[in-house]
Chains A and B, each alone.
Chain A
């Protein structure tokens, strides 16, 4: 049990009411292949509470209209809700200003936006530092940038537990380092990086830092000002919100100086064939009709998470992780991939003599949904010398019974492959 969970218990605080939480998520009531669904693929995408589903459909049923464009009532209502969602995200991240919140499709688009736009300022010989545990979406945009700018990609290594090696990271920073991009939480390993310290180190070398928060936002309270990051990216769908909506936070001074990412409606102030001028922040980066329903429902998801309490959620998930790690250590032939001292609710592993893909199919037969494969982190697989892993990842609605179901199903895998 984590210190936080233990402290809660000692204080006599009410246990996190998982049964009540589960009632809020309609999909959890369904069966898969005749068994109750055990959904342990939350790092890929989380399930949605009824409040979020209702919020999205209410927009379409009651005030569907384009935003920033109409003087009619519906357009006004939609615009107000969309802009209120921006303010909600601003509060959630503790950003200084609402203009620093740009709505995008997801973490991937947020990172591409920075690579394309901020990246325009890079030239041959400049360096970009990432880590060995990054998701492909925090590798490939930088490779593309290196290709056309002549910048060089550097990769900070991880140790055998899947933890970043801070000394190596420090050694790779230099006067040519222009951008540092790293995950706050690794999707393949669960490692939580000490981003605040790393950001401080990077800033000392004059680099700007982008934090990929896709896996962090559902599990820990994030404060971009306390982290002092320059950019922060996350996806709505991993934090109980809809797909197709995500957020880029950017420090105002940086966003102001950056050229637009895409051109189109909404992002301009005036257009003529001779010259167009750009709209103010954040609209400069929001060309075209955005995912209006998605943004509004994301704010609803944030409300939901806030009402449950991120600290309570984190304590509950740490309890699950510790229990699952314990059970894993008792299972012969199971090797955990990712054993860093600080981890979020991700249990990545391989079973001796059974390919992850076969494990996944058999678990699915038992109603247990996990991810198998390289988790969009092929360099991590190479680092640990495995083609793929099985990954169980936890959310606020998971229970110990579900972890028991996972391990019961793993015993069945053993039976089939005996």
Chain B
């Protein structure tokens, strides 16, 4: 059986309870809203792009421990990354939580704490909500992203 402790590691509980980079970003020049209608999670991702890199990233909203921790760890990992690097990170993260690739600690760092999600397919959407929202912010899609095609 997949152990719940693998899912709810200390790092996840900690970031879920005390998310980093939480709150609005007044100097943001990109933002997007994300929504998971299945569980009611909502979050907003703010980015400040400067010189082709993500100079700052913050988020706010309400969500479960998995989605909050994922958003928190994501904002930490994004700073200083180019758009291409951020997208590569998302691709790596997506592979991590869906279980299609072994955890690449070298590139994903602390994000590998979310590897346990692969054993809980119902929670993949929680882990990726912030990332899909990031994608929208990077591309400045006007619409709120939703984890469901048809809400």
Contacts and interface: CB of A to CB of B under 8 A. Distances in A.
B4 interface: yes
Given A358-B65, A361-B123, A417-B13, 5 more contacts: A33-B2, A356-B64, A357-B126, A358-B64, A416-B13
B52 interface: no
A362 B4 contact: yes
A150 interface: no
A34 B4 CA distance: 13
B39 A356 contact: yes
Interface in A355-378: 355-358, 361-362, 365, 372-374, 378
Q: Which of B1, B4, B38 has the most CB of A within 10 A?
A: B4
A111 interface: no
A interface: dominant SS: mixed
Contact of A373 (B1, B38, B42, B123): B38
Interface in A376-418: 378, 381, 387-388, 416-417
Contact of B40 (A354, A358, A387): A387
Interface of A: 33-34, 353-358, 361-362, 365, 372-374, 378, 381, 387-388, 416-417
Contacts of A387: 39-42, 62-63
Given A355-B65, A358-B64, A417-B13, A373 B4 contact: no
B65 A381 contact: no
A358 B41 contact: no
12 contacts: A33-B1, A355-B64, A356-B64, A361-B123, A387-B40, A387-B42, A387-B63, A416-B4, A416-B5, A416-B8, A416-B13, A417-B17
Nearest to B41: A387
A378 B42 CA distance: 13
Q: Which of A358, A373, A416 has the most CB of B within 10 A?
A: A358
B78 interface: no
Contacts of B2: 33, 365
B4 A374 contact: no
Interface of B: 1-2, 4-5, 7-8, 13, 16-17, 37-42, 62-66, 120, 122-123, 126
Please provide the 4 A-B residue pairs with the shortest distance between their CB atoms, ordered closest to farther: A355-B64, A387-B40, A357-B64, A388-B40
Contact of A34 (B1, B16, B17, B65): B1
Contact of A355 (B7, B42, B63, B120): B63
B2 to A, nearest CB: 8
B39 A361 contact: no
Contacts of A374: 37, 39-40
Nearest to A381: B40
Contacts, number: 57
Q: Which of B37, B39, B126 has the most CB of A within 10 A?
A: B39
Contacts of A372: 39
Contacts of B122: 361
Nearest to A388: B40
A33 B5 CA distance: 14
A93 B75 CA distance: 57
Contacts of A361: 4, 7, 120, 122-123
B42 A365 contact: no
A33 B65 CA distance: 22
Given A353-B17, A358-B64, A373 B7 contact: no
A374 B42 CA distance: 13
Nearest to A416: B8
A346 B123 CA distance: 25
A365 B40 contact: no
A378 B13 CA distance: 27
A390 to B, nearest CB: 11
B135 to A, nearest CB: 22
B39 A373 contact: yes
Given A387-B62, A416-B13, A417-B13, A357 B39 contact: yes
A374 B37 CA distance: 8
Nearest to B122: A361
Nearest to A359: B64
